[in-house]
Amino acid sequence: MSAGSQMRCWNVRARGFTLLELMVAISVLAILSLIAVPSFRDAGLPSQLRSVANNLVGATQLARSEAIKRNAVVTLCVSAGGTACETGNWQQGWILLIGTTVLHHELPAPTGFRVTPTGGATALSFQPTVVGATVETFTICRSTPSVGLQERVVTVSATGRASVKTTTSGVCP
């Protein structure tokens, strides 16, 4: 072997990363992920609020139609257990009842979300005559963490019809 061929072997540069370069890259990645993750969580806020509001509107529509169909008073009330009306908060879940028969059970709202009735009602009644339903306005918002100023307001009229409005008051009752 000649001296020139040995020189070529030593001139070949090793490819790869040094430990220092790898540590810098991981540090930059960690910093970027700390900044990005909360933003991604907030990106889902509108769809979560819409989902809870739509579930409440759907329950009121079902209650109204069942009251008309069965010619009986239908009650929409707070229920964490899903078998009877209870005291508590609407975010614990709710049920639809005719007498003692449960027609529908809604699961609790996602953690950190509130469903607050303006009038403080824990039950709404829907009449078979359509007129005379309990009038109530619900605010659906995220209480923790208190970022994102969005909320949904569900209004139930005296005829049992519900409507949803998006607001940005920034106060979660």
Say if 31 falls within a structural domain: no
What's the burial of 60, exposed, middle or buried (CB within 10 Å: 0-12/13-18/19+)? buried
Q: What is the mean pLDDT of residues 73-94?
A: 93
Say if 126 falls within a structural domain: yes
What's the whole-number average pLDDT of the chain?
Answer: 85
Number of continuous H segments (helices) and E segments (strands) in the chain: 3, 8
Say if 93 falls within a structural domain: yes
Measuring CA to CA, how many Å separate 43 from each of 37, 38, 133, 168? Answer: 10, 9, 36, 15
The residue among 99 and 43 whose pLDDT is bigger is 99
> Domain with 67 in it: what CATH number?
3.55.40.10
Q: What is the DSSP string of 3-19?
A: HHHHHHHHHPPP-S--H
Say if 14 falls within a structural domain: no
Among the listed ranges 35-49, 71-85, 104-118, which one has the minimum average pLDDT value? 35-49
Domain count, the chain: 1
Say if 140 falls within a structural domain: yes
φ and ψ of 7, to 5 deg: -65, -40
Say if 149 falls within a structural domain: yes
DSSP summary character for residue 111 = T
Say if 101 falls within a structural domain: yes
Query: Quick one: tokens of 85?
Result: 């009306």
Within 18-169, residue ranges assigned H as helices are 19-43, 45-70
pLDDT tens per residue, range 123-137: 999 999 988 888 999
By residue range, what is the domain housing residue 161? Answer: 45-167
Say if 40 falls within a structural domain: no
> Angle of helix 19-43 relative to helix 45-70, nearest 10 degrees?
30
Question: How would you list the strands of the sheet with 136-142, edge to edge?
Answer: 113-117, 136-142, 151-156, 162-167
